[in-house]
Amino acid sequence: MRALVVAAAFLAFALNLSAEKSSLVISKQYGLAYLPLIIAEEQKLIEKHAKAAGLGDIKIEWATFGGGSTANDALLSGTADLVSGGVAPFVRLWDKTNGKVKALASLNDAPIVLVTSNPKVKSLKDLTDKDRIALPSVKVSVQALALQIAVAKEFGVENYDKFDHLTVTLSHPDAFVALSSGKSEITGHIGLEPYSSLELQNPKLHKVFSSYDYFGGAHTTNLVWTSEAFYNDNPKLARSIVAALDEADAFIKQNPKAATKVYLASYSSKEPPELIEAILKKELGYQTKPLPNITAFSDFLYETGAIKRKAKDWQELFFDAVR
């Protein structure tokens, strides 16, 4: 009898050691860049794929942050299991942790666009100290990095931070309101969709550049990342999340009108549905595997001394769930 009790206790201990998490905290941010996560939340796709993988019922708490630096803080503090944001804050954390943090999946390829209300600013060369440019995180966000890359192309890499002092930290919704109102110090916004297209509907605003201009085309912009410890301890759950995002991506491509409704409902937004649907069809690409030129971001950060390690290829930045 005692042997049975010991065996049962050992089995319970072994099962507990091998058990994956039954609850998660995942972060997203504002805008269409995060639509796959919004779809996954609304349709409970992670829960669906986790159950199919034999993990039972998974409880997920969703958090919304205003920028990648906040997301990184949440991941490092353990208050979030997976976070999402732009390539720049992710690469910085990948470097800071010596690769102990990696991307689980890409979210999208999306243009990063500078829109201004200053009629005199037709190109970066027209910016002056009177301009103030809003972006999610000064010097840290992918928008800040896109500006630096553009400046380096125009003025030389030694001057990459020439306009950093003009940037102001604001979430995309707040930046949109500030720029559109014409009543604040903000004269520019480096944003993502749908904010760029919404701003460009205003005849008093115009585009200065798109990041695609400097990359020769599309690039991966936003990602989901997590720690090596989470990935190693939760292999089935990690792959279930990627499968859920794949399903969300397929839903967006096949049902842009329905995806638009989900997006607008998630933010209780009054944005024109026809505009959102048009953006989904023309401006954005959704897939979990990144475009190979994602390393252009890490190469630039390495070249300018912002990070100490250089990724040899995109696989070095990602866990193997999307390879």
Q: Is the pLDDT of residue 12 over 70?
A: no
Q: What is the pLDDT of residue 258?
A: 97
Inter-helix orientation angle 87-96/68-77, to 10°: 40
Q: What is the pLDDT of residue 248?
A: 98
Q: What is the pLDDT of residue 1?
A: 52
Rounded distance between C-alpha atoms, residue 168 and residue 156, angstroms? 23
If you write DSSP's letter for every residue of 59-96 in order, what string do you get? EEEEEE-SSHHHHHHHHHHTS-SEEEEEHHHHHHHHHH
Q: Is the pLDDT of residue 321 over 90?
A: no
The average confidence (pLDDT) of the chain is: 92
Q: What is the third-level CATH fold of 22-109+221-293?
A: D-Maltodextrin-Binding Protein; domain 2 (3.40.190)
Are the CB atoms for 245 and 225 separated by under 8 Å? Answer: no
Are the CB atoms for 189 and 113 separated by under 8 Å? Answer: no
Q: What CATH class does 113-215 carry?
A: alpha beta
pLDDT mean over 293-305: 96
Q: Is the pLDDT of residue 38 over 90?
A: yes
pLDDT tens-digit map of 152-193? 999 999 999 999 999 999 999 999 999 999 899 999 999 999
Domain with CATH 3.40.190.10 in the chain: 22-109+221-293, 113-215
pLDDT tens-digit map of 79-89? 999 999 999 99
Q: Indicate the range of 9-13, 20-24, 197-201, 308-312 predicted with least confidence.
A: 9-13
Confidence band for 7, pLDDT divided at 50, 70 and 90: very low
Are the CB atoms for 142 and 221 separated by under 8 Å? Answer: yes
Q: What is the pLDDT of residue 200?
A: 96
Q: What is the pLDDT of residue 15?
A: 44
Q: Is the pLDDT of residue 13 over 50?
A: no
pLDDT mean over 239-251: 98
Percentage of the chain exceeding pLDDT 90: 87
Are the CB atoms for 117 and 204 separated by under 8 Å? Answer: yes
Confidence band for 110, pLDDT divided at 50, 70 and 90: very high
**Residue appearing with tokens 């020439």:** 162
